[in-house]
Structure 1
Amino acid sequence: MRSSSKAALRAAIGPGLLMAGAAVGVSHLVQATRSGAEYGLLLIPVVLLACLIKYPFLEFGPRYAAATGHNLLVGYRRLGRWALWLYVLVTVGTVFPIQAVVTLTTAGLFALVFDVDMSVTLISAMVLTACIVFLMIGAYKGLDLGMKIIMAALSVSTFVAVMLAFREAPDWGAISGVAEWSRLWSLAGLGFVLALLGWMPIPLDVAAWHSIWTQERARSTGHAPSVRDAVFDFRLGYAGATVIAVFFILLGALLMYSAGASFATGAAAFSAQLVDMYAQSLGEWSRSLIAVAALTTMFSTTLAVTDAYPRVLAALLGMLQDHGDEPRQVDPSRKGRRDVDWWGYRIGLLVIASGALLLIWFAGAQFTRFVDVATILSFLSAPILAWITFRVVTSPDMPAEARPGPGLRALAWVGFILLLGFSLVWAAWRLWA
């Protein structure tokens, strides 16, 4: 690879790792670990299936942004206002639960690390205030750099924890989870599986976030990425998120399932159990280190989510200001310029944070149930987002040479059918169970 090509690739690397950092939060620290703790290794195929069937639709976000210079919201509008409004309805239905869940998890870890005896709502307010202050000064570059460092540190520490958990040869039959097979077919078991599918490795509305982050990265570096480089960046982050998910399932199975332990329902108690799990594997010397690492990871996830939703809101407001005219295209040579309305972004920060805090105040005590509700909402909306995103990248608006090839299209069709089928099964089960 020539030096100019290497420089272009380096300039493109960032949004994919930011996406991975947003993914390695509740879905991994909470849901994947719970999966291993409650079902052993039984649900590893489910996690890998979720990552496979969601891959095309999440990849379409950076693909579209690199090919057209616009974010996916523009693509939805060009497809038809009905598509844009579908995305808006899905976002409105999930924004506050998702923001609340990631904030609540971070608050639980904060209370554990600093031994703070305060209400979880007040700690959540402190976490969100810190995120808002950081983001209001426009620190995308800091967010980008920090996520790269944190993802590298988390990957290494998780890998080391898994390897140390294998110090004694495990009884694979005991941790396989085969004994839990019948429990999967209960309403509670099916609900957990669908919740796992909903957020593993990350909800599908993140495709639009990723397209916006790709634009922001182009502005930050002054370089518009090629489709090839943008897709490579995505694959790098996506592969990392998938591998780390399997690591967390292994840790839950090796350290909790074999001991017959189950997770608490409160955020603070859950966080304490999570740190205990690492300490059992690495040793007591690591307890403080792991607690701080887990807090940093979840804070980064909360920061990414807190940044993404207001950007989506601001982009929507910007399109309303265009009055149906051709949307403004990102000019990467003008570093620091934002294509979304900055005041809309700031208002979005305050509105979304306030709504999340209200949810935490009402439902924060039932942490794991709260997580399941948020993840199931994401799962049920997945077929809608998958369909309209696929329509965008196969429409005449997309340059022919940048459209997905036959293999990726086939995988997208399989993924859409499975996502729709799983949603219908869940709906039927809820109606007739």
Structure 2
Amino acid sequence: MKRGAFFKTLGPGILFASTAIGVSHLVQSTRAGAEYGFGLLVFILAANLFKWPFFEFGSRYASATGRSLIDGYQLLHSAYLKLYLVINLLSMFFVNAAVTFVAAGFLQFLFGIELPAAYYYLPSLALFAFTFSFLALGRYAVLDAGIKVIGTFMLLSTLLAFFIALFRGPEAPLVWQPLQTLVRPATLPFIIGLMGWMPSAIDSSTWNSLWTTERIKQSGYQPSVNETVFEFNLGYWISAGLSLCFVVLGAFLLYGTDQTLPNNNVGFASGVVRLYASNLGDWTFPIIAAAGFTIMLGTCIGVMDGYARSTVRAVAVLRNKPESRQQYLFWISLIGLGGFGTIRFFMTSFTELINLATTISFLIAPLIAFLNYRLVFSEQLLASQRPGRAMQVLAVVGIGFLTLFSLGMGFYFLFF
């Protein structure tokens, strides 16, 4: 790809990566390494691999047709789009609450904000207000520019911490645990939650298709399908690689020690930052604290925009009416209020909120994966625009993988 074409295409993949690297990486991957060493690494690798086709299909479909996946669901059958809209409405408040609650913890710790227990919701409220203002004032143009800055800082600071940890080595001996000792009823909810947002929830593939069409409008450049897919894959595999970095950080700095991560957002943030800084050197303290906050801030912005943008588009397609700025403002307002209400309700149970949000995402993954597969192998795309045979096989295996673990989660809820 030529340099000029790359920079004109660059945007949606970086936005996806910044949105993905939040709870799944900073919280879940760190916990996986801290509690199980490298024992759960196979699940992280499997989630990244088997989800990859369905995210890639979003960018591919948008570039090939000029339409979002949401429009494609309607073309398959209106019932699919209605079901997607229901899924969106059921998950948007929990997901936005989860990412904002984590970000609020890092915000409080970064700036040394101490509040009485009764007012712990105020930082979350401030973040919802900031995210709303950021999106209301600039929409995609500001979102695209802001995320590139946040994403660059996030990448550099995380890699710095990772390489320092590798240089110093693990704090305690790493003992490999066989899978049969790890996969049991007590650990299954965490494993499902870990994979639910690894690297992100599959329903967010519609966001990437919308960001792709928006980037084309903004830049005035129509990239080829190969150019779009290359740009997305770059962002995707950066996010996948960083998930492994956080596992290593958790395993090297926490596993086998007497240190634990608290079950509240501020405690978790301070635990991560203080532990990393104490082991990597006090001079890294501002780097780790700032990295954690910027990671989560980028996630908050991307998630709110993604849910609002996809909901507006779904409603517009179902009603066969054009979108409007007022609808976008309405939905980011509603998402902020609903997310804030969810935080107030779950405020005392940080881990349960994260597990609930990630589990919901994983349970609906097989359906979205199937729909994305149907679209890219339909007659809406030319044969030259469709994925190759290897990607088709990987997608079929991925659907089976996601279905199997969703059934496992259902079995767990029924019998344990």
Q: TM-score, normalised by structure 2?
A: 0.95
How far apart, in 2, do the equivalents of 1:170 and 1:147 lie? 33
Contact 1:103–1:128 (Cα < 8 Å) also in 2? yes
Match of 1:423 in 2: 406
* Worse-matched range after superposition: 29-38 or 143-152: 143-152
1:161 aligns with 2:161: yes
Match of 2:120 in 1: 120
How does 1:3-402 map onto structure 2 within 5 Å?
5-118=2-115, 119-170=119-170, 174-178=173-177, 182=181, 184-322=182-320, 340-402=323-385
The structural deviation recorded for 1:162 is: 1.9
The structural deviation recorded for 1:320 is: 3.5
The structural deviation recorded for 1:154 is: 2.1
Where 2:155 maps in the other structure, the secondary structure is: helix
How far apart, in 1, do the equivalents of 2:397 and 2:412 lie? 22
Where 2:167 maps in the other structure, the secondary structure is: coil
How far apart, in 2, do the equivalents of 1:21 and 1:142 lie? 15
The structural deviation recorded for 1:115 is: 1.7
**CA root-mean-square deviation:** 1.7
How far apart, in 2, do the equivalents of 1:202 and 1:41 lie? 20
Where 1:404 maps in the other structure, the secondary structure is: coil
The structural deviation recorded for 1:186 is: 3.2
How far apart, in 2, do the equivalents of 1:88 and 1:139 lie? 21
What amino acid is aligned across from residue 162 of structure 1 in structure 2? F
The structural deviation recorded for 1:301 is: 0.8
How far apart, in 1, do the equivalents of 2:319 and 2:80 lie? 18
Where 2:202 maps in the other structure, the secondary structure is: coil
How far apart, in 2, do the equivalents of 1:213 and 1:165 lie? 35
The structural deviation recorded for 1:364 is: 1.6
How far apart, in 2, do the equivalents of 1:171 and 1:108 lie? 26
What amino acid is aligned across from residue 423 of structure 1 in structure 2? S
The structural deviation recorded for 1:284 is: 1.0
How far apart, in 1, do the equivalents of 2:354 and 2:141 lie? 30
How far apart, in 2, do the equivalents of 1:171 and 1:24 lie? 25
Where 1:257 maps in the other structure, the secondary structure is: coil
How far apart, in 2, do the equivalents of 1:168 and 1:386 lie? 41
* Worse-matched range after superposition: 388-397 or 138-147: 138-147
Contact 1:17–1:234 (Cα < 8 Å) also in 2? yes
How far apart, in 1, do the equivalents of 2:50 and 2:272 lie? 29
Contact 1:104–1:120 (Cα < 8 Å) also in 2? no
Over 3 Å counting, the alpha-carbon distance change for 1:312 and 1:44 in structure 2 is: same
How far apart, in 1, do the equivalents of 2:102 and 2:211 lie? 24
The structural deviation recorded for 1:280 is: 2.5
The structural deviation recorded for 1:90 is: 1.7
Match of 1:329 in 2: none
The structural deviation recorded for 1:321 is: 4.1
* Worse-matched range after superposition: 345-354 or 274-283: 274-283
Contact 2:151–2:298 (Cα < 8 Å) also in 1? no
Over 3 Å counting, the alpha-carbon distance change for 1:154 and 1:220 in structure 2 is: same
The structural deviation recorded for 1:192 is: 0.5
What amino acid is aligned across from residue 28 of structure 2 in structure 1? Q
How far apart, in 1, do the equivalents of 2:171 and 2:267 lie? 28
How far apart, in 2, do the equivalents of 1:171 and 1:34 lie? 16
Over 3 Å counting, the alpha-carbon distance change for 1:15 and 1:190 in structure 2 is: same
Over 3 Å counting, the alpha-carbon distance change for 1:86 and 1:317 in structure 2 is: closer
The structural deviation recorded for 1:287 is: 1.3
The structural deviation recorded for 1:94 is: 1.2
Which deviations, in whole Å up to 9, do the C-alpha atoms of 1:83-123 show, x marking residues without a partner?
Answer: 11221122122111100000001111111112222323221
What amino acid is aligned across from residue 156 of structure 1 in structure 2? L
The structural deviation recorded for 1:275 is: 0.6
How far apart, in 1, do the equivalents of 2:171 and 2:265 lie? 31
Where 1:42 maps in the other structure, the secondary structure is: coil
The structural deviation recorded for 1:376 is: 0.7
Contact 2:161–2:288 (Cα < 8 Å) also in 1? no
Structure 1 unaligned regions, length at least 5:
324-338
The structural deviation recorded for 1:179 is: 7.2
How far apart, in 1, do the equivalents of 2:384 and 2:219 lie? 25
How far apart, in 2, do the equivalents of 1:269 and 1:180 lie? 30
Where 2:257 maps in the other structure, the secondary structure is: coil
Contact 1:386–1:416 (Cα < 8 Å) also in 2? yes
The structural deviation recorded for 1:180 is: 8.3
What amino acid is aligned across from residue 74 of structure 2 in structure 1? R
The structural deviation recorded for 1:278 is: 2.4
Q: How many residues align?
A: 413
